[in-house]
Amino acid sequence: MMEYRPERILLEKKVESSPLTQRVLQHWTGVPVELVNEAAEIRHYTGKQPTLALIQYKGRFIKPCPGTPRHICCNYLILNIGYNCPLACSYCYLPAYLENPHLITLFANLEDMLGELKRLLASRPTYLMRIGTGEFTDSLIFDQITRLSETLIPLFSHAEGYLLELKTKTSLVDHLLELGPKQRVIISWSLNTSRIIEQEEPLTASLEERLLAAQACQRKGYWIGLHLDPLVHYEGWMEDYSQLLRLTFSYLDPSRIIWISLGGLRFLPELPPLIKERFPHCRIILGELFPGQDKKLRYLQKIRIELYTTLAILIRNYAPQTFIYLCMETPIVWRRSLGWSPQSDRHLARLFAQHFQAVRGTG
């Protein structure tokens, strides 16, 4: 896995003394630091060298996942800890939203973030709410430096009705192993075939590194989530995904895998030109992808159903009880792939809760 080191740190004066800032500056001593008065000053930053910005985030830290129109969504809450990620996976959707791919932003006003989170956790949700930090960055890529999880994980121990999900493509988990209590924390890995990891995610941890890290977490009592996303359709995909699952279940105990999501490769329509520019030899954009009902580009429905059906059958061979769900898919694709479909987004959220209650008793 690549080791990230910024060449420059932009620091908003207001968060100069924040504990997160101090930890970051201590870790990357020697990296030039430039103080800025306002975060707004770096909004249009055009520098081309790897740059880390530490700012005070003034918006809401917790927001519902926007989902996608006419597709079933899983009512997920995003805890936004920063923007962008140095892993630079070719298919990543972040460049479509970010002005500068070289700039990574971390929110250093932790007390505001934690205040908002504590207020939420104090309320009792009507159904199980899953909160994840891995939507706009990798949850663990900077966690050994920021130590954010050390604060987050204990907060969830008594947060009845909430689950914390830390989603990653790294193997940076050593600092998590002795933390606790862990019963409401899921460490999730995005997994893909070795071929896709090598070609499209070359800066991430290898498949075996990820699985070893997941195994270590599982052995220390964490629930594990797996996201087979994006599923890529290429010649030999079936064999490669079979191999991926064989390997996965040789490392992990299926009874401690809380869920597995499947998601076909998809792009915002504006993303392929950006991918072409950043990765001129990227081939996954050359699949047969067409605009769906939400305008995102996806494989033909028939191909997606073929992918999901095959993967679901393979998974059930190893983990018959594990909850499998589809990410951003239409009801017809759910029905044709898994044999059933949630009636609504809320229904899916309730199913998560039911499943969690069920495995909690047995896990």
Partner 1 sequence: MRERVFKKVALRDIDLSDRQFIFSYPLSPERLYPSIKQIGLICPVLLRRETPPHQVIDGIQRLLALQDLSHEYTEAFVYPDSTLQPLDAFHLTLQQNLHNRTLNPLEKGLALQKLLNQFGIGREEVIRHYMPLLGLPPAEKVLEDYLSLNGLEEEIKLVLVREEFPLPLAHQLARFSPEDRMALFRLARELRLGLNKMRELLRYLEELSLRDAVPIHVLLESQDCQQIIRNQRLTRPQRVEGLRKLLKQKRYPRLSQLEQSYSQAIKRLDLPPHIKIIAPPYFEGEGLTLEARFTDASDLKEIALSLQKIADREEITQLLGCLYNT
> Can residue 330 be called a binding residue for partner 1 (CB under 8 A)?
yes
**Cα separation, 124 vs 140, whole angstroms:** 28
**Cα separation, 335 vs 137, whole angstroms:** 32
> Can residue 303 be called a binding residue for partner 1 (CB under 8 A)?
yes
**Cα separation, 80 vs 69, whole angstroms:** 22
Q: How many CB atoms lie within 10 A of CB 247?
A: 16
**Least distance from partner 1 to the Cβ atom of residue 196, Å:** 16
**Least distance from partner 1 to the Cβ atom of residue 152, Å:** 39
**Least distance from partner 1 to the Cβ atom of residue 328, Å:** 13
Q: How far, in Å, are 39, 100, 151, 198, 337 from residue 104 at the CA level?
A: 13, 9, 22, 23, 38
Residue with tokens 């239409």: 330
> Can residue 302 be called a binding residue for partner 1 (CB under 8 A)?
yes
> Can residue 97 be called a binding residue for partner 1 (CB under 8 A)?
no
Q: 3-class SS at 2?
A: coil
> Can residue 298 be called a binding residue for partner 1 (CB under 8 A)?
yes
Number of residues that bind partner 1 (CB under 8 A): 18
Helix axes 207-219, 237-251, angle to 10 degrees: 30
> Can residue 44 be called a binding residue for partner 1 (CB under 8 A)?
no
> Can residue 300 be called a binding residue for partner 1 (CB under 8 A)?
yes
> Can residue 310 be called a binding residue for partner 1 (CB under 8 A)?
no
Residues 71, 329 contacting (CB under 8 angstroms): yes
30, 46, 286, 362: which one contacts partner 1 (CB under 8 A)? 286
**Least distance from partner 1 to the Cβ atom of residue 150, Å:** 45
Which residue number, 290 or 340, has a Cβ lying nearer to partner 1?
290
> Can residue 312 be called a binding residue for partner 1 (CB under 8 A)?
no
Residue with tokens 């002795």: 178
Which residues contribute to the site for partner 1 (CB under 8 A)? 281, 283, 286, 288, 290-293, 298, 300-303, 305, 330-332, 336
